[in-house]
Amino acid sequence: MSAMSSPIEIDDEAAIVAQARLGDAKAFSELLRRYEGKIFRLALHITQNREDAEDVLQEAFLKAYEHLDQFQGQSKFYTWIVRIAVNQALMKLRKRKSDRSVSLDETIDTGEDTVAREIAAWDENPEQQYSREEINEILSSAIDGLAPIYRAVFVLRDVDDLSTEETAEALELSVPAVKSRLLRARLQLRDKLTRYFKRKGDDAFAYM
Amino acid sequence: MLTCKQFLDELSDYLDEKTDAGLRKKLEDHISECPNCWVICDTTKKTIQIYRGMDPYPIPSEIHTRLMSALELKMARKT
């Protein structure tokens, strides 16, 4: 481990990336520590399989390490590694014969006439009726009920808080494509969560 | 007055505060008169808030350990 040299004192990501590019193993480990949790969560949401998600996580960081010289530094390191991870995750999906919905760029069945929306007001703080574990379970399984094209967009944009432009860059989609997927994802999730969070006794259903 | 469909098409931008003042006014006029769209707007906003506050996913320690070992192996080969 001869590359383990200078300690990192600056909390500046560009500087850390520059150090890592010079072969500083500690700098690269710092990048890994920052983003491994998010990349693992994203991979888990796309592949919906723990083993595949772990493979994706490893492949993404190993590839990033190997090709660090190709990282231009114009975008965030996270956006760059997300792009690598998403490509790996989609390859995993393609390998599984049963799953045909493998592209982030396929045309969307808007299903405009078929979506029955549950319209009911929520409690003021609906999450307080559930334990933390229950909430996490409800939120995760709602995301997993979305099509893969919506999952990745929603997680990056609304869970990881990337901008629309960063999400577009990470997923190699156009800005309008990100926007339309985000809208559908948000509406579908709202629909799913309403089943848990609607105000008690408020059973007004409406179909649009 | 906008239709519900037109309102929903703009909902994401409205919640992200990306609409210009003119459109914003039209959207607000719509929800002040359309209870269904008001509920959809309010609960979509809460949906986004609840996800933003989601716990960061703690990476299982055995997965972190395996990732580090794989990386160290790769680094050793490179040097």
CB B39 to CB A119 under 8 A?
yes
Residue A161 at interface with chain B, using a CB cutoff of 8 Å: yes
Token pair listed for A126? 């609906």
Cβ partners under 8 Å of residue B69, min gap 6: none
**Angle at B63 (CA atoms; ends B60, B64), nearest 5 degrees:** 85
Token pair listed for A90? 């989609």
What would the pLDDT profile of A120-133 be if each residue is shown by its tens digit?
A: 889 878 778 898 88
Residue A89 has pLDDT above 70, yes or no: yes
Which of B31, B53, B30, B29 minimizes the C-alpha distance to B42? B31
Q: Which of B15, B16, B54 to mutate to test the interface with A (most CBs of A within 10 A)?
A: B54
Per-residue pLDDT, averaged over B26-46, amounts to 95
Token pair listed for A17? 């990336």
Residue A3 has pLDDT above 60, yes or no: no
CB B72 to CB A32 under 8 A?
no
CA distance A77 to A96: 29
Full DSSP string of A145-186: TS-HHHHHHHIIIIIS---HHHHHHHHT--HHHHHHHHHHHH
Question: What is the number of H-type helices and E-type strands within chain B?
Answer: 4, 0
A13-95 matches A126-197 in fold: no
Topology (CATH) of A13-95: Rna Polymerase Sigma Factor; Chain: A (1.10.1740)
CA closest to B59 among chain A residues: A37
What would you report as the CA-atom Rg of chain B, rounded to the nearest whole angstrom? Answer: 23
Query: What pLDDT band is residue A207 in, cutting at 50, 70 and 90?
Result: very low
Task: Look at residue A198 and give its three-state secondary structure.
Answer: strand
What pLDDT score does A98 carry? 57
A-chain CB neighbours of B37 within 8 Å are none
Domain borders along chain A are 13-95, 126-197
Residue A158 has pLDDT above 60, yes or no: yes
What pLDDT score does A8 carry? 47
Domain A126-197 has CATH 1.10.10.10: yes
CA distance A101 to A149: 8
**Angle at A84 (CA atoms; ends A147, A90), nearest 5 degrees:** 30
Q: Which of B15, B46, B67 sits opposite A61 (nearest CB)?
A: B67
CB B44 to CB A1 under 8 A?
no
CA distance B76 to A23: 12
Task: Look at residue A97 and give its three-state secondary structure.
Answer: coil
Structural domains present in chain B? 4-78 (1.10.10)
pTM over 0.90: no
Cβ partners under 8 Å of residue A22, min gap 6: none
What would the pLDDT profile of B25-35 be if each residue is shown by its tens digit?
A: 999 999 999 99
Place of tokens 């500083």: A24
Residue A208 at interface with chain B, using a CB cutoff of 8 Å: yes
A/B interface, count of CB pairs below 8 Å: 109
Residue A2 at interface with chain B, using a CB cutoff of 8 Å: yes
Per-residue pLDDT, averaged over B33-53, amounts to 93
Bigger pLDDT: A128 vs A172: A172
Largest CA distance in chain B: 68
In angstroms, the first-to-last Cα distance of chain A is 62
Cβ partners under 8 Å of residue A169, min gap 6: A75, A79, A83
DSSP state of A7: P
What would the pLDDT profile of A129-153 be if each residue is shown by its tens digit?
A: 898 889 989 999 999 999 887 999 9
B-chain CB neighbours of A127 within 8 Å are 50
Task: Look at residue A122 and give its three-state secondary structure.
Answer: strand
What would the pLDDT profile of A15-43 be if each residue is shown by its tens digit?
A: 999 999 888 999 999 999 999 999 999 99
What pLDDT score does A200 carry? 73
